[in-house]
């Protein structure tokens, strides 16, 4: 059964145009801020397990810092020409907490 869990405080969330790494219940998460909208993705790039949360935001995508694979922050689908996907987690802010849904 899926449940909402606290990922970080709202004050710890990334500023627009950036991403951070966070972990909850042994799940590594890339929390990205694309034009004021938070997105939560699996932190590990499927190419070589690069840490997406150490990458950057370019347009609507999070870019892996190791080999520049880019993933749409909302869908997790890699931008062409790559054919890959990372998991995405529903995210919401409640009061001072950023929550993600883990299932």
Task: Output the domain CATH number for residue 89.
Answer: 2.102.10.10
What is the distance between the alpha carbons of residues 9 and 61, in angstroms, rounded to a whole number? 23
Q: How far is CA 50 from CA 2, 7, 44, in A?
A: 27, 20, 6
Q: What is the pLDDT of residues 5-45, one digit of tens each?
A: 999 999 999 999 999 999 999 999 999 999 999 999 999 99
Q: Do 42 and 86 form a contact (C-beta atoms < 8 A)?
A: yes
Task: Print the domain residue range for 46.
Answer: 3-97
Please indicate, yes or no, if residue 102 is contained in any of the structural domains. no
Dihedral Cα 68, 77, 36, 26, nearest 10 deg: -90
- Considering its fold, how many domains does the chain have in total? 1
Per-residue pLDDT tens over the stretch 43-55: 999 999 999 999 9
| Structural domain includes residue 31 | yes
Domain presence at residue 24: yes
103 within domain boundaries:
no
Global pTM? 0.95
Whole-number percent of the chain with pLDDT over 90: 97
């Amino acid at each position: 059964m899926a449940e909402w869990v606290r990922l970080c405080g709202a004050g710890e969330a990334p500023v627009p145009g950036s991403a951070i790494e966070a972990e909850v219940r042994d799940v590594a998460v890339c929390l990205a801020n694309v034009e004021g909208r938070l997105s939560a993705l699996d932190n590990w790039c499927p190419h070589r397990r690069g840490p997406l949360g150490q990458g950057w935001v370019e347009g609507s995508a999070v870019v892996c810092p190791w080999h520049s694979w880019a993933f749409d922050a909302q869908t997790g689908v890699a931008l062409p020409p790559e054919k890959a996907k990372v998991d995405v987690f529903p995210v919401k802010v409640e009061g001072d907490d950023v929550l993600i849904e883990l299932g």
